[in-house]
Amino acid sequence: MTVIPVEKKVLSENQRIAASLRSRFEEHGIFCLNLISSPGSGKTTLLERTLAGLSPQERVAVLTGDLQTENDAKRLSHYGFPVQQITTGGICHLDAGMIERALNMWQLDDIDLLIIENVGNLVCPSSYDLGEEVKIVLLSVTEGEDKPLKYPSIFAKSELLLLTKIDLLPHVPFRIEQARTNARLVHPAMKIIEVSSTTGEGLEQWLTWIKRRRQQMYQRICAAYG
């Protein structure tokens, strides 16, 4: 049995659905973020701090992916925004079909910002477009600073790198400048923000980045459609 044609067919179908999602997001003015990282990088905690920092009047929704449990959705639901858990049953990534099915539960006219928390993995999610406006990769200081060189695909495809858990820098042998250098060897134009969900350092910069990037998307849509 040949595996490659089957894989190509799956990715082709994913691209078709992702293109449809991207068109729907543009039509409804939805700014969609896809957060990707290794397990334990602090995605969910960062999302908690992010949601806490947003106005309750913001029209935000969250889709969070995990292999088995619904723990992340339960944590994030405390902030008053719509949250859905996508349980993949062992699949190491979210795909566009999963996103499409989850969105059938919501009215897209009620959403301005959609945050997708992907399954913890730096390999599989890089191959699957979810129709997002931007991919964001997280790298914690408890990991190796050579991760961008080991997993170049996701760093090359991500517009922003969030260096997380920087409050632990005094306690771990992580060379943050080397991590920056390695990331920009893969993606020279990559934006990098250092954050700590524990101390709050960098969170304002992160929220400001979201606001500015949303505005850029709206300007592009307005220019395209008049």
- 1 pLDDT band, cuts 50/70/90, is very low
Residue 35 lies in a domain: yes
The enclosing domain of 89 has a CATH number of 3.40.50.300
Residue 16 lies in a domain: yes
Residue 166 lies in a domain: no
pLDDT tens profile 152-178: 999 999 999 999 999 999 999 999 999
pLDDT tens profile 69-126: 778 899 999 999 999 999 998 899 999 999 999 999 999 999 999 999 999 999 999 9
Burial class (CB in 10 A: 0-12, 13-18, 19+), 31: buried
Which of 50, 74, 23, 87 is closest to 164 using CA atoms? 50
Residue 148 lies in a domain: no
- Tell me the residue range of the domain where 39 lies: 4-135+194-225
**Which residues fall within 8 angstroms of residue 163, CB to CB, at 6 or more apart?**
139, 140, 141, 176, 179, 180, 192, 193, 194, 195
CB atoms within 10 A of CB 214: 17
What is the number of domains present in the chain? 1
Mean pLDDT of the chain: 94
Which of 206, 120, 195 is closest to 164 using CA atoms? 195
